[in-house]
Chain A
Amino acid sequence: MRAGSVVLVAGGSAYALIAASTTPFTLPADVCTGLVIVGMAVLVIVRWPLRTRFARLAARAPEAPVHPCLPWLLLLVVFTAWELFNYLVPGSRADHPTFSSITDANDRFYVLKALLFLGWMAAALLIVRRGARR
């Protein structure tokens, strides 16, 4: 692992541990989360081209019956449908947990919340990098 990657992982982990120690609906939580959002916005403005060229995937193998992105699209559709069903169906949140309520339960454990925050920042970094000018 390169030195830059080590610094990035160590710094990100330290920040996630700090952010995980905050409580939602408080100023520290707003600041810790808001700084990442602002940082992401700055990186997108600085690194992303104004116009994009749609990325192509590697050629599909002749035996592949469907587009290789289709399984992920179907999973996203099922996820969204299940989330909406649980959100809208009458009944308690305990009976019909949404993704948010599951992560709320996860947030009771400091390390799990820190990992979730780290994963969110990693996803942001991945998106910024993949959309950057190459």
Chain B
Amino acid sequence: MSVSTVSYVVWGAMGALALLLWWLSYARPSAVAHPSDVVGRVVTHPVGRIVVVVGLMWLGWHLFAR
């Protein structure tokens, strides 16, 4: 197995894990918070909301403009 294959497998596993957590947030909401609730919690934190907004702005600029 090549190095790049291992890298892509790990990325894929993280994507699958995110989907699993998303499903669990509906199936077992007391164990796994729904993504929008996590976002809601972070963006009501005085520092967290600034980090999230600036981070998302940077991400868009990085992915689509530069």
Contacts and interface: CB of A to CB of B under 8 A. Distances in A.
A-side binding surface: helix, strand, loop or mixed? helix
B26 interface: no
A68 B44 contact: no
Interface residues of A, number: 55
Given A37-B57, A64-B30, A69-B33, A127 B10 contact: no
Contacts, number: 127
B-side binding surface: helix, strand, loop or mixed? helix
Interface residues of B, number: 41
Contact of B31 (A22, A32, A64, A86): A64
Interface of A: 19, 22, 24-25, 29-30, 32-34, 36-37, 40-41, 44, 48, 51-55, 57-58, 60-61, 63-64, 66, 68-69, 71-72, 75, 78-79, 82, 86, 91, 94-97, 99-100, 102-103, 107, 116-117, 120, 123-124, 126-127, 130-131
